[in-house]
Amino acid sequence: MEERSIEKIGHPYIPNSHPAVQKEMLKEIGVASIDELIDKVIPRELQYRGPLNLPKPLLSEYELRRHVEGILSKNRTCGDYLCFLGGGTWPHYVPAICDEIASRGEFLTAYAGEPYEDHGRWQALFEYESLMAELLDMDVVSVPIYSWGHAAGTSLRMASRITGRKEVLVVDTISPERRRIIENYLEPHVKIRWLKHDPSSGFVDLEDLKNKISEKIAAVYFENPSYLGFIEPQGKEISDIAHEKGSLVVVGVDPSSLGILEPPSHYGADIVCGELQPLGNHMNFGGGLAGFVATRDEEKFVKEIPYRIFGIAHTVVPGEYGFGDVAFERTSFMVRETPGESKEFVGTATALWGIVAGVYLALMGPRGMRELGETIVKRVRYAIHKLSQLPGVKVPKFNAPHFKEFVVDFNSTGMKVKEINEKLLKKGIIGGIDLSKNFPELGEAALYCVTEIHTREDIDRLYESLAEILEVS
Amino acid sequence: MGVVRLRKNFHQAKWDEPIIFEMSREGERGILVPSVDAEIERVAGDALSTIPENMRRKEKPNLPEVAQVRVLRHYLRLSQQTLGVDVNIDIGQGTCTMKYSPKINEMLVRSPKVTELHPYQPEETVQGALEIIYRLDHMLRALSGFSRFVFQPGGGSHALYTMASIIYKYHQVKGNDHKDEIITTLLSHPSDAATAKLKGFKVIDIPPDPETGLPDMEAFEAAVSERTAGMIICNPEDTEIFNPRIKEMTSLVHEVGGICAYDQANANGLLGYVRAIDLGFDLGFYNLHKTFSSPHGCGGPGLGAVGATKELESFLPVPVVDYDSSQDRYYLNYELPNTIGKVREFYGVFPVVQRAYSWLMSLGDEGVREVARIAILNNNYVMSRILKEVRGADISFPKTRYRVGQVRYSFKKLADETGVTVEDVIRRMTDFGFHLWTSHHPWIVPEPFTIEPTESYSKEDLDEYIEGLKTIAQEAYENPDKVKNAPYNGVIHRIEDMSFFEDPARWAPTWRVYLRKHRGEGVRK
């Protein structure tokens, strides 16, 4: 038998990793050794007994911590640098209470418990749904899913199932990341046709929409604010054009804008999706994402949501609330594969970050969300004002109202965004997203993001740094 | 010997906590946003006027107004009314590998060196994060034999969808238009079937052989044909009987040009002892939030790391992380010629990657195998005792005596003899601080329950849990109503009418809908 030094030490994460207890348990089972037991459950010829060559373990917590911290020390954060990146993950302030609740061991380590012993989890997620419902002014919100991109894919597939139509119109200004997700997600059932934007304002080209809309179109999808930062003001017109042909309207929205911007339900959206990361979740290198899907309380819409929806009910004790799954039969947990069209799937996604988003909205309240929107719009306006004083810089590129992002056009500066960003980095600043690859028609342009965390000094520092870089060139 | 005692005097925290909207008091504030500098104020002026009138929100959202300490208290109370692994012997949520999530790993992911990273930062500023992704990829390669792993999928089902997408794309690239079927088994996770369906495949579910519980080989052989695009299955399935004929199955699928994808949700008892590549799989995933100790978070964020052989590597979602030794630099590589594109924005849930990395670093070769060994030991110990001592409990497919890391049991006998169902037992378990779960649907095993002890629980923990089952089974025979009317010591009592969740006229998926349908109130305050 192989020598197992770990059993002499005893591993702190594995209580039964010591021989005395193993002996007792083996006796109960009626086998002589764990190896014998392994041979009974996995045929020997299918076992692998060679070396795995994993790194030498760091058994003490201290050694492990030193090691991991050593690697992490190579990271420079958006706190070390002054960062103007957005584009799907945004630097917002995360209230301390959000971190406190996210790190509660009970929420952190619970999973799929029943409405009884996990009552708190069910209530927290029901409240998340209910708080988002108010922000969106829509009746039904599901338990969150992986990300905005996935939620958009689902919303479009839902629209296809509801209308029985197989094509969707998607505006071509959406995030390049989301574009690739949606393309893969809709294949092979739903065909995407791309909708042009007006090159001057960035808005949906209504003429193009009118040309392409038809009774074959399940849904029209646009985003507000758009990936490129501008606010799309034609929501009502787009919805009217779509609805006239019996198409649905799906809108992707950044919820941090909804204290000041009309929710899409007010201009005709039938299904709304978006991203929860701005609501109290850290950026986490892009791992802080959680998508939401919302719709009306109509059976034909609700029945097409593939995700879990937690609903409230009464218990046998008057005044006591209980929770449960609304229309559970619609999910792939109940129906493995639907006889007709695919109704997608459900599984582990991002529940904890939904709970955090709920905490965030409860903290912010109606005034907080309004003030968040106001303060961002003011800072953005200030940033635009400052940066437009730079020689050769056009900002914003699009002649439109903006929320927290805007495109800076560097084409007349004679410098490439890549070069500018490299020079900014040397000054301790991470510049905006280089759009030259994904939006080649914009040439040398960058997407800048300003939120409530950016002070006047930060914006002035960006301005001064850019001024130096552009003048030197 | 440790003490084993059923917690007969247990009572879960019961705060009778209102819904957050019921706590609202006009004027209260939870948090303030940063104030605007006077110069910004001056330049920006009435910034809201830049937004077209039709796009300006007229009424504030109807969110509650609650002071900070009240929000904190509310959510802390809700957390206390939740049973996570940290506070209970969580072996009753079978298939979910409810193991201990080490606190040091949690502390490390809360570092600003993790939380405050933006995915589009220049690569030279995120070398530490890229290094961890790269290192974990190589560790998973060692465990599975695959050539490359990606971390974009956010859970097991998402990983299954990713694998179904790769199978779809593979045949598209090969021009195999005739390949439109995916074979799975009825005892594999429902998402194995659902995600294949999503990618347009016809799904063939192989039923278990009623004797052995293993996939019916005759039915499987009949299902494999030129139309077979691939196979997506668990092994072991949720019955946790390892399939000794798995290599025959992968060979048959390969013979007709199909792809074999491995749902490794049940990998805990196999770690270090079974490599996907040796069984003939081309694709496979590991759940980092289950098998690799990242906590489950009430249902995520999780991560299903998808691995592929050399032949299929080019189909993985982009980007992957590579290392340039000449410059000692990690970088994002988007150049995979056949990539399916993306399944999630950016590179996956980085904190989960980091926790899994830390966990493997605390184990090494021997430790990883110790996880599997003890998971198997614990499971067979629990099974042996349940079969001997818990009245009315049986094991599914009793012909196979030993199981890997979990067992699907049945309370059919108990239900037949006492009228007490497994759902009743589950509610009663709450009264002793336990959690128990049934199985995925369809219930091939009647009155099912699934126990997966993992490596994280001591013998005394396991004994205490078994004591709970024994006590309740005995109660079922002596006083069935006691079990049927449970729970008594939980947070809430039995839900009055389950049709509340099925009837569109009555269901209440949000508070506003509840107020309207059940309190006759309008939408707004």
Pairing relation of β-strands B181-185 and B228-234? parallel
The whole-angstrom separation of Cα B289 and Cα A112 is: 13
| Size of chain B in residues | 525
CB-CB contact of A141 with A133 (8 Å): yes
- Is the domain of B508 the same as that of B470? no
By residue range, what is the domain housing residue B218?
A: 109-361
Query: By three-state DSSP, how is residue B3 classified?
Result: coil
How near does any CA of chain B get to the CA of A358, in Å? 10
What average pLDDT does range B39-61 have in this prediction?
Answer: 94
DSSP string, A68-105: HHHHHTTB--TTTSEE---SSS------HHHHHHHT-H
Q: A96-360: same fold as A82-90+368-472?
A: no
- Is the domain of B340 the same as that of B395? no
The whole-angstrom separation of Cα B214 and Cα B246 is: 10
DSSP string, A307-320: S--EEEEEBSSTT-
B203: nearest CA in chain A? A337
Q: First and final CA of chain B: distance in angstroms? A: 60
Task: Report chain A residues whose CB lies below 8 A from the CB of B515.
Answer: none
With cut-offs at 50, 70 and 90, classify the pLDDT of residue B386: very high
Where do the domains of chain A lie? 1-65, 82-90+368-472, 96-360
Task: Report chain A residues whose CB lies below 8 A from the CB of B114.
Answer: 72, 75, 284-285
Q: What is the pLDDT of residue B525?
A: 41
Q: Which domain CATH number covers B418?
A: 3.90.1150.10
Cβ–Cβ below 8 Å for B160 and A106: no
With cut-offs at 50, 70 and 90, classify the pLDDT of residue A454: very high
Q: In this structure, which topology does domain A96-360 adopt according to CATH?
A: Aspartate Aminotransferase; domain 2 (3.40.640)
The reply to whether B131 falls in a domain is yes
Is A392 in CB contact (< 8 Å) with chain B?
A: no
| Size of chain A in residues | 473
Average pLDDT score over chain B: 96
Average pLDDT score over chain A: 96
Is B55 in CB contact (< 8 Å) with chain A?
A: yes
Residue A380 one-letter amino acid: V
* Residue among A284, A289, A327 minimizing CB distance to B507: A327
Task: Report chain B residues whose CB lies below 8 A from the CB of A51.
Answer: 365
What average pLDDT does range A301-311 have in this prediction?
Answer: 96
- Is the domain of B145 the same as that of B200? yes
CB-CB contact of B239 with B397 (8 Å): yes
The whole-angstrom separation of Cα A344 and Cα A338 is: 9
Q: What is the pLDDT of residue A1?
A: 46
- Is the domain of B286 the same as that of B261? yes
Give the tens place of pLDDT for each residue, B144-194.
Answer: 999 999 999 999 999 999 999 999 999 999 999 999 999 999 999 999 999
Residue A132 tokens read as: 């988002």
- Is the domain of B44 the same as that of B118? no
* Residue among B58, B155, B373 minimizing CB distance to A38: B373
Task: Report chain B residues whose CB lies below 8 A from the CB of A55.
Answer: 135, 139, 361, 364
* Strands (E) located in A183-288: 191-195, 217-224, 248-253, 271-275
The reply to whether B286 falls in a domain is yes
Q: What is the pLDDT of residue B269?
A: 98
The reply to whether B15 falls in a domain is no
How near does any CA of chain A get to the CA of B475, in Å? 20
Q: What's the alpha-carbon Rg for chain B, to the nearest Å? A: 26
Is A339 in CB contact (< 8 Å) with chain B?
A: no
The percentage of chain B sitting over the pLDDT mark of 70, rounded to a whole number, equals: 99
Note if the bond before B295 is cis, omega within 30 degrees.
no
CATH number corresponding to A82-90+368-472:
3.90.1150.10
The reply to whether B5 falls in a domain is no
Number of domain units in chain B:
4
B40 phi and psi angles, rounded to 5 deg: -65, -45
pLDDT of A179 higher than 50? yes
- Is the domain of B263 the same as that of B150? yes
pLDDT of A329 higher than 90? no
Residue B193 one-letter amino acid: A
Q: Under 8 Å CB-to-CB from B272, ≥6 apart: which residues?
A: A48, A52, B143, B365, B368, B369, B371, B372
pLDDT of B457 higher than 70? yes
What average pLDDT does range B260-272 have in this prediction?
Answer: 97
* Residue among B86, B129, B427 minimizing CB distance to A106: B86
Cβ–Cβ below 8 Å for A75 and B74: no
CB-CB contact of B164 with B199 (8 Å): yes
Q: Under 8 Å CB-to-CB from A167, ≥6 apart: which residues?
A: A190, A191, A192, A193, A216, A217, A218
Cβ within 8 Å of B, A 206-235: 231, 233, 235
pLDDT of A393 higher than 80? yes
With cut-offs at 50, 70 and 90, classify the pLDDT of residue A3: low
Residue B470 tokens read as: 């024994």
pLDDT of A335 higher than 90? no
Q: What is the pLDDT of residue A334?
A: 81
Is B170 in CB contact (< 8 Å) with chain A?
A: no
The closest alpha carbon to A9, from B370, B294, B377, B269, belongs to: B370
Q: Which domain CATH number covers B291?
A: 3.40.640.10
Give the tens place of pLDDT for each residue, B129-142.
Answer: 999 999 999 999 99
Distances, alpha carbon B444 to alpha carbons A425, B143, B208, B246, in Å = 60, 32, 9, 21
Task: Report chain B residues whose CB lies below 8 A from the CB of A147.
Answer: 154, 344-345
pLDDT of A355 higher than 60? yes
The whole-angstrom separation of Cα B286 and Cα B302 is: 11
Tokens 């004027």: give the residue.
B27
Please, which residues bridge with residue A296 across strands? none
Give the tens place of pLDDT for each residue, B402-425.
Answer: 999 999 999 999 999 999 999 999
The closest alpha carbon to A410, from A436, A373, A378, A374, belongs to: A436
- Is the domain of B401 the same as that of B348? no
Task: Report chain A residues whose CB lies below 8 A from the CB of B302.
Answer: 348-349
Tokens 């792993």: give the residue.
B149
Residue A30, Cβ neighbours under 10 Å: how many?
Answer: 11
A354 or B499: whose pLDDT is higher? A354
Please, which residues bridge with residue B409 across strands? B395, B449
